[in-house]
Amino acid sequence: MKHFRDNAASKSGYGQTRGADNHASTHTTLGATAQAGAQGVALWQQLTGVAMAFQSIRGGQSGTAALAGVDAAIRPGVQALLFQALRQAGRAEALRRQLATRTPPPAADALLCVALALCWNPEEAPYEPFTLVNQAVEAAKNHAATRAQASFINGCLRRFLRERDELVATTDRDPVARWNHPRWWIDRLRKDHPQHWEQILRVNNTHAPMTLRVNRQKSSVAQYLKALDAINLGANAFGEMALTLERPVPVQQLPGFAEGWVSVQDAAAQYAAPLLLQGMDMSQPLRVLDACAAPGGKTAHLLEMASANVRLDVTALEIDATRSTRIDETLARLGLHATVLVADAARPQDWWQQHCGGARFDAILLDAPCTASGIVRRHPDVRWLRRESDIAQLAALQTQLLKALWPLVRPGGRLLYCTCSVFRAEGDGQVQTFLANNTDALLLPSPGHLIPGKGDTNGSVPDNLRGDHDGFFYALLQKSIH
């Protein structure tokens, strides 16, 4: 698929999607069937919306932007089908190449590939393959951009149904078709994680769980499990404040969500706040900076960890003014307060003296912009939008942020560097270079790279990450006193 340069989920500015935080909108549809999201809407209408969004992503839009252009009445069903199509896009394009010697016009190619992605594996197809084929042809006939290719699309799909086993077997030899990731992505994972690269790719093609963080200032895991049981919604608890729902639901259906009882946050992201604060003297007021803070999930978690007699003075930075409003909204729902600044974390000279009085911080959380390679199952468009060159670009930005923020840590204080990436250039490689260039930095016990999925896969997963979690990287750095 065609890559692009300005993915909203991972752009090189600091207003990136904090992929593991606050997935309220995503989870209104994930895990539900496409049928449930579009009652009374013909399947061909949904497929038309999916194909248009698919074509937009090929042209460089993020999945979020592409879906924003879909009629709200059919958007849930379209999103469910689009995500499944994106997870099988490598296979679909390989099959299309077998079926057509020439690439059809963009709109027809998008519709054809969407149909192939959804029906190639009958065991995972959201509808019977024959139904998908019939409705894809109907979609072609009913849209001006594809009407002229309706017969061509019909011929390709009917041939696929007849020759499915042979065509699939042929594409099995193509790693992009088998793993549904760009070849460079597969090669890099094999190099970075020789023992776990296949697991990472498999997990990336599955649905992400809906994990909640219970607000300890308003409830407990035991109390919230009872509230969920009262509405017949099962959940599995793990760690101190985390639980995973047995099935995703819209956040409006969660007991006490509007009142701030819980937040949607992946288990790996929930490790940031306790890791940063563990072992610190909580009897004294602490000055904490959350750099690159939007949408505010980790800022809120830091504040939730403070008891009535512990003072956390938290400053949340966000370079994007529009995204900074999401921090305010998150904190308001939870009844929490932080100083929210629209500022560039890489330019302390613009905000540190003026808004922070030039006082150094006890702790800094740097959830740095990255490729989002650890949250691909939540954003299946990312794999097709990324370029390999983006890794070096973003690694340079991460280096810049570390260099700018380290002087703001007081002696004896700490900085937690994390990314929602599984690429070592954005994790272990970044930190090793930093340690080599900063002799006053000590690496404290840290999880390092967390492999997405379930269980302990790298030998250092903490107890509160025994559940299903995203790919992440954590390094806790302490500044020497002398």
At 50-83, the pLDDT tens digits run: 999 999 999 999 999 999 999 999 999 999 999 9
pTM, entire model = 0.91
* Residue 119 in tokens: 């029906």
Cα distance between residue 387 and residue 401, in whole Å: 22
DSSP secondary structure letters along 64-115 = HHHHHTS-TTTHHHHHHHHHHHHHTHHHHHHHHHHH-SSPPPHHHHHHHHHH
Clarify whether 420 is annotated catalytic.
yes
pLDDT in the model for residue 463: 59
Work out the percent of the chain whose per-residue pLDDT is above 70.
Answer: 89
Given pLDDT bands bounded at 50, 70 and 90, which one contains residue 101?
A: confident
Instruction: Please state the length of the chain.
Output: 482
pLDDT confidence of residue 290: 98
CA 92 to chain centre: 23
Give residue 16's pLDDT: 47
Residue 104's alpha-carbon distances to 85, 116, 120, 139, 271, in angstroms, are 18, 14, 19, 16, 47
pLDDT beyond 50 at 158: yes
What is the overall mean pLDDT for the chain?
Answer: 90
With 80 as the cut, is the pLDDT of residue 2 above it?
no
Residue 26 pLDDT > 70, yes or no? no
pLDDT, residue 39, reads: 58
Q: Cα dist. 191→40, 457, 477 in Å?
A: 48, 17, 26
Which run of H or of E encompasses 429?
helix 428-437
Percent of the chain, pLDDT > 90? 84
Tell which residue, 306, 456, 320, has the closest CA to residue 18: 320
pLDDT of residue 467: 76
In this predicted structure, the answer to whether residue 401 has a pLDDT above a threshold of 60 is yes
Say whether pLDDT at 34 is over 60: no
- Within 10 angstroms of residue 454's Cβ, the number of other Cβ atoms is 14
Mean pLDDT, residues 449-463: 69
Cα three-residue angle 164-169-171, rounded to 5 degrees: 100
Mean pLDDT score, 362-366: 98
Interval 242-279: pLDDT, tens = 999 999 999 999 999 999 999 999 999 999 999 999 99
Q: Which one of the listed residues 113, 119, 156, 420 is annotated catalytic?
A: 420
Q: Is the pLDDT of residue 457 over 60?
A: no
Q: Are the beta carbons of 268 and 465 closer than 8 angstroms?
A: yes
Q: What is the pLDDT of residues 310-334, one digit of tens each?
A: 789 999 999 999 999 999 999 999 9
Kindly indicate the confidence band of residue 455, based on its pLDDT and cuts at 50, 70 and 90: low
Average confidence (pLDDT) over 410-420:
97
Q: What is the CA radius of gyration of the chain?
A: 23
Mean pLDDT calculated for residue range 208-233: 96
CA distance 436 to 425: 15
pLDDT of residue 27: 44
Element (H, E) at 372: none
In this predicted structure, what is the pLDDT of residue 11? Answer: 35
Question: Is pLDDT at 12 greater than 50 in this prediction?
Answer: no
CA dihedral 45, 50, 51, 53 (to 10 degrees): 130
pLDDT of residue 482: 74
Q: Output the pLDDT for position 390.
A: 97
Kindly give the residue spans of alpha helices, DSSP state H, lying in 231-363.
272-277, 297-304, 321-334, 352-356
Q: Which of 342-346, 380-384, 450-454 has the lowest mean pLDDT?
A: 450-454
Residue 281 confidence (pLDDT):
87
- pLDDT for res 238: 84
The residue-averaged pLDDT of 114-136 equals: 97
Average pLDDT of the residues in 209-213: 96
- Evaluate if residue 228 carries a pLDDT over 70: yes
Please report which confidence band the pLDDT of residue 356 belongs to, taking 50, 70 and 90 as the band edges. Answer: very high
Question: How far is residue 404's CA from residue 401's CA, in Å, rounded to a whole number?
Answer: 5
Q: Could you write out the three-class secondary structure of 135-185?
A: HHHHHHHCCCCCHHHHHHHHHHHHHHHHHHHHHHHHHCCCHHHHHCCCHHH
d(CA 30, CA 247): 9
pLDDT score at 164: 97
Question: Residue 9: its pLDDT value, please?
Answer: 38
Q: Count of CB atoms within 10 A of residue 247's CB?
A: 12
pLDDT grade for 40, boundaries at 50, 70 and 90: confident
Residue whose entry in the numeric block shows the structure tokens 């994930």: 30
User: H or E element: which one contains 402?
Assistant: helix 389-405
Are 166 and 156 in contact by the 8 Å Cβ rule? The answer is no
Q: What is the mean pLDDT of residues 146-175?
A: 97
**Where does the pLDDT of residue 306 fall: very low under 50, low under 70, confident under 90, or very high at 90 and above?**
confident
Q: Does 13 have pLDDT greater than 50?
A: no
Distance CA(18)–CA(229), nearest Å, equals 30
**pLDDT (0 to 100) of residue 128:** 97
**Half-sphere exposure (CA, 13 Å, Cβ side) for 392?**
3
